[in-house]
Amino acid sequence: MADSSVAITAGAGTNIDTVTTPNGDHRQVVITGDKGGHSGRVNTFRTLGRAGTTGQKLFSIHNASGSTVAVDVHKITVDLAGTVVTAVTVIPAIIRMYKVTVLPTNGTSLTKVSENSGGAATSASVTVLGDASADGTGSATTLTATLPAGAVLSQEFAPRLITAAGYEMADRMEFFGGEGEQVTLRALEGIVVMLDYANAAANPITHHWTVGCRWEEYTP
């Protein structure tokens, strides 16, 4: 069936997307969640934990000041593997999604991957950063971001390896993955994936993290 369009009355006339049936009728085409812009994905390198007492920023996505696009973040995923047992008395890190307004700096710029190579190109205003420059190699400069107090969109405790006997550290944790749960980033807004902890044992260098993100850019 041929893909076509018919005019609808909206001022001077606006087309709607349709599919023509064999008898010549038009059926409207509805694409759920597609706003006609760029749809992208990104994944970090395997990122080692950074021991210390001030936490670690694993990933950021940010829409620059003056940006002409809005960004709907549809999903952020976090996974963890570890090779060293952590004492049961150690409270694990809290994985928090912070909404920020200041552009994150340092870390390593990541590769944005288009979901549709024939679609709209990504905007240069949208930047994605991680805290590793290669699998198992931390960024030369730690990913840095200003986190507004209490500006947490979602959170979950990280799992911990209490015993090495037949236990996988974690299934992939998913944030904003439900129907209608996307977070919209306007100009000068972003999301930072932060590990909050005050005990170095909560995130030793033997922890291995990965973060993935899916988003859509469009003209608001």
Q: Categorize the per-residue pLDDT at 219 as very low, low, confident or very high, splitting at 50, 70 and 90.
A: very high
What is the distance between the alpha carbons of residues 155 and 141, in angstroms, rounded to a whole number?
A: 25
CA 192 to chain centre: 9
Q: What is the pLDDT of residue 20?
A: 85
Cβ atoms of 92 and 160 within 8 Å: the answer is yes
Across the range 25-39, mean pLDDT stands at 73
Average pLDDT for 205-217? 96
Q: How would you class 7 by CB atoms within 10 Å of its CB: exposed for 0-12, middle for 13-18, buried for 19 or more? A: exposed
144 contacts 50 by C-beta, under 8 angstroms: no
Nearest-5° Cα angle at 22, 16 to 26: 20
State yes or no: pLDDT of 127 exceeds 80: yes
- Where are the domains positioned within the chain? 1-30, 36-218
Q: For residue 159, what pLDDT is reported?
A: 86
Mean pLDDT lowest for which of 34-38, 66-70, 175-179?
34-38
Using CA atoms, how far apart are residues 68 and 62, in angstroms rounded to an integer? Answer: 13
| 8 Å CB contact between 155 and 94 | yes
Q: What's the pTM?
A: 0.83
The model's pLDDT over 100-114, given as tens digits with 9 standing for 90+, comes to 999 999 999 999 999
Amino acid 1: pLDDT: 47
Over residues 14-30, the pLDDT tens digits come to 777 788 888 888 887 66
Assess whether pLDDT exceeds 60 at residue 9: yes
Q: What is the pLDDT of residue 162?
A: 78
Mean pLDDT across 62-69: 97
pLDDT at 60 > cutoff 80: yes
The pLDDT of residue 3 is: 58
Confidence of residue 128 (pLDDT cuts 50, 70, 90): very high
Mean model confidence pLDDT for the chain: 89
Range 59-65 average pLDDT? 98
Asked if 54 and 144 count as a contact pair (C-beta separation under 8 A), the reply is no
Comparing CA positions, the residue from 64, 29, 39 lying closest to residue 120 is 39
Asked whether the predicted pLDDT for residue 93 surpasses 50, the reply is yes
